[in-house]
Each structure stands twice: as structure tokens, then as C-alpha cells.
Structure 1
Amino acid sequence: MSISAADVKKLRDMTGAGMMDCKKALAEADGDFDQAVEYLRKKGQQVSEKRADREANQGLILSRISDDKKKAVMMEINCETDFVARNEEFQNDAESFLNAAFENDTENTKDLLSIEVDGLTIEKHLEEMVGKIGEKIEINNVVLITTDGTLISYIHPGNQLGVLAEFDGDLTDAEIGKDVAMQVAAMKPLSVTRDGVDSTLVEKELEIAKDQLLNEGKPEHIAEQAAKGKLRRFYEERVLLEQKFVKDNSVSVKDYLEQNGAPLVKSFHRLQLGENA
């Protein structure tokens, strides 16, 4: 099939790979972008995770946590420009929507929009804000967590990234919890443990690792064993408790928690502007 220059450029923007490599990958994949990315990875290309078609949303990530650290809400509200996101009135409105979600134990955006604040539903408030400001404004994500353990909230300066981390027991040192929440913010783990990683993703990573080794000329039986080693490294990079602790690379996150007598992480939620819409 004919591969257009625009498609080649798009794949290059998505992956950072060379133009000719992108053209060949698209030809091999019959124009399918996901398959083309997979082809590049199998050929050993270092593929960037960015996506050219990702919308650069602006807005705020906000959270509220109860005094006993047993309940927390995190919310993403989006607008079109950073100028609006920094506006005090916009921020105050966003805080009032967050409080409504917290006080009503709201688990999703649809339910939040129907809640009344000062005599109007939040949906109506958003419509009025759009009319007044002249930008598209919407609430894209609401996360509610309740626990018998301990919840820690971390909002990165600038309010473009936030994390809620749930610990499986009483966490007496909030700084330890903040360290782990910051780890989630910085290192983007897929899950707390290996069991939480999608099995299809694991199979694909194993296949890609094996094909890379075969393309390097390794025999089949050696490629299979070495691929398992690469999979272990994948887990160390993408599973929270196995990741190297960012403040001390000599220990894993699990080691850090155990050394400090802290409970392990049970779950986490990470919101970044524009990534979870």
C-alpha cells in the first residue's frame, strides 16, 4: 500500500524513530500505527511513549483527603489555556466541585455533574463558565477511595499531576507515604505488583524481547531464556514495589517500606492532565 509522507511524519513524531525506519514500519504494518510501533520495537528501536495526536489539555488536578486519612477524592478539571487554569475564580469553582464530590462520595463524572452547588447543578455551572470564559471546560476524571488502611495524597507543584496512594495498614510517618506517592508520580508504574500487570501486555513484551534477540542473531533457545531476563527488567521498571526507590537506588520501594516498618502499598491512582481523558 502507499504510505503518505504525513503518516511517516506522524509515526516519527510518535516514536522518535528515523524517517526511513518509520516508512518501512508502516509498510510492514499495512499502515496500522500500533503494529508499526510494535515492529520498530522488535527491531530494537527505542520508542518514545509520546503520541502526536494527544491533546495538550490544560486545567487542574485537585485532591481532598479526610483528617483520618480513610477517604480521599481526586479530580481533573480541564480548560483550553493555562491562563484560565491560573485564574482565581476558576480555581475557586474547581475547589467547590471537588468538595461536592468529597461530601457526596462521588465516584464518577456523570454523578458529579448532577450534584447541586449554590442552587445549580455542576453541569449548569460548567455551562455558565464556558459562556463567561469562552473556552471549553469539562471535568474529565473523578477518583474516590475509601480504605481501612491509610491514604496519602500528593499533588505536584502546578497542579498538573496528582497521586492517591493506599497503604495496607496504619502509616504513622506521612513523609514515607509522600515519598512513595512521589515515586508513582515520577516513575509511572503500571501496577503495585506483577499480578496487576495485564497478561496480554506481558506476553507482548516477552514476544518483543525475543524477536529483538532473534534479530540480533541469537539462537531460538538462547533468545527465549534471555527474553525472560528482559521481562524481569520490565517488571523492575513498571511494577511499583519492584522499582528502584528514586531517593536511594540501592533498594526497591518494597525494601524501603519494610526497612521503615511501614505497610505496603495496596493501590494507587495517578492523574495527569490530558492523559486520562
Structure 2
Amino acid sequence: MFKKISVENIKELRNKTGAGMTDCKKALEASDGQIDIAIEALRKKGLASADKKSSRITAEGLIESYIHAGSRIGVLIEINCETDFVSRQPKFHQLAKDIAMQIAACQSVAYVFISDIPDNIVTYEYSLELQKEDLVDKPSNIRDKIANGRLNKRLKELSLMDQNFIKNMEITIEELVKQHIALWGENIKIRRFERFLLGEGLEVKTNNFRDEVSNMIQNK
């Protein structure tokens, strides 16, 4: 028997997905009122529609910052969209803040996409994998296969879009962005980011206290 869809069910689904009321109602009707199935259906639909918008120009957006507790790690991120209407939306600002926080939490992330990683870095990482002790005595074809698998895993560690979203580990950052593309119906792109670590690059003075006192006495 078909389950009656209430306004409360539709609102609950809308709050969880950000999808429109009509789309939520249709998804619930198709899933016989099962929220989890409806969420999955909307997510798949959103990802499909987002892919069609990925080539559209993004000339608006904002620069967002995130400073971690203790003020020892900070991140600046530029995220772009198509219109200033979307760039002013609180949810767009929250998206930028969430991604900046993700970058602060993932210290190995250095690029937005795997395709952004320079060839020399890819070659270097591959050579490191080939030199590992557990691969030395294996046949070349097996060694190459294992090394390539490990390389792909390493490249994903360096890529922001391949990270699992820290607030919802069931989706990646790429999927998170695509959900918001589906929400507003326009393209969204993470253009660049910069991570700041307190004291990074500074030479720390290591003279011990005894040497310092000795130098002071000699200079009197």
C-alpha cells in the first residue's frame, strides 16, 4: 500500500538535502516515503545535473578564511560561482568555511584535483613506491601493478576533492560541491587555497642556556 507523504516528511527531506520541495515530494513518492532511499535518489540526481554545469564560467564567488583553535593553523580559500546572488547566500559561505576547515584538518592535501599535481611529483612518488623493500623481489609486472595502486592512493591523499568530508564521511568534497551545484543550479569551483602554519619556514634558534650565559660573560 502506498504510504501517504506528509508536509513534515517533505520538510525533513528538504532540510537534509537542500533540494526543492517538489523534488523532495517526488523522491518520497518514488521511495514510498523512505527518507534514506529518497536522499540517495536526490543525491544521484544532483550529481548528474552538476556534471552538466561543470564547464560553465564562474566569475563570482568569495575568499573565505578559517583559523583553527589556538590560532596556529589558518587557511585562505577562493571558491567561485556564476552569480553574486549565490555568492551572498549563507549556505555558500558555510560551504567555503567547511572546505577551508577540511584543508586545515588534512595536512597532506596540497592540490585541488589530482590533475593539478605536477608530472614530476607523480614520477617521484611512483619511484618511491617501486623502491620499497616489499616490492624489490617481485616480478616487474606485479611490482608495477602494486606500485600503481599505491600511487593512486597517494595522489588521492594530496587531492582536496578526493577527501572524505569530515562532517559526513559518506561523501567526498567533490560530491559535497556537486550537491551545492544541484542546489543552486549553477557551477561552483574551488580555485585555490593556501595553508598557513605558525612558524613555518623560520629558523629556530637552538643555543642552549649555558652557552648563552658564557657568551654574555665573555663580552663584558
Give the TM-score normalised by the residue count of structure 2: 0.54
Aligned position for 1:184: 103
1:167 pairs with one of 74, 79, 84: 79
RMSD (Å), alpha carbons: 1.9
Q: Is the 8 A contact 1:152 1:166 kept in 2?
A: yes
Shift in Å at residue 195 of structure 1? 3.1
Contact 1:154/1:163 (<8 A) preserved: yes
Structure 1 position 259 matched with structure 2 position 171? no
Could you tell me whether the CA contact under 8 Å between 2:162 and 2:172 is conserved in 1?
yes
Amino acid at match of 2:191: K
Contact 1:163–1:185 (Cα < 8 Å) also in 2: yes
> Residues of 2 paired with 1:200 and 1:163: CA distance?
26
Q: Partner amino acid for 2:149?
A: G
Q: Does 2:122 correspond to 1:210?
A: no
**Residue 114 of structure 1 corresponds to which residue in structure 2?**
none
Tell whether the 8 Å contact from 1:235 to 1:242 is kept in structure 2 after alignment.
Answer: no
CA drift at 1:155: 1.0
The match for 2:200 is 275
Moved over 3 A (4+): none
Displacement of 1:276 in angstroms is 4.3
**Once the 2 structures are TM-superposed, how far is the Cα of residue 197 of structure 1 from its aligned partner?**
2.0
Task: Give the AA of the match of 2:68.
Answer: H
CA distance in 2, matches of 1:208, 1:193: 21
Per-residue CA deviation, residues 60-98 of structure 1 (Å, 9 max, x unaligned), is xxxxxxxxxxxxxxxxxxxxxxxxxxxxxxxxxxxxxxx
SS at match of 2:70: coil
Larger Rg: 2
The one-letter code sitting in structure 2 at the alignment partner of 1:225 is K
Give the direction of change, closer, same or farther, for the CA distance of 1:260–1:148 in structure 2 (3 Å limit).
closer
Structure 1 gap ranges (5+): 1-146
- Distance in 2 (CA, whole Å) between partners of 1:244 and 1:191 is 15
* Structure with the higher fraction of residues in strand conformation: 1
1:250 aligns with 2:175: no
1:198 paired to 2:123: no
Map of 1:157 onto structure 2: 69
Which residue identity is paired with 1:184? I
Structure whose residues are more often helix by fraction: 2
Q: Deviations over 1:94-148 (max 9, x none)?
A: xxxxxxxxxxxxxxxxxxxxxxxxxxxxxxxxxxxxxxxxxxxxxxxxxxxxx84
Deviates more, 1:151-160 or 1:191-200: 191-200
Q: How far, CA to CA, are the matches of 1:271 and 1:164 in structure 2?
A: 8
2-structure distance, mates of 1:221, 1:178: 45
Structure of higher RCO (CA pairs closer than 8 Å, 6+ residues apart): 2
Unaligned runs of 5+ in 2: 1-58, 182-186, 203-220
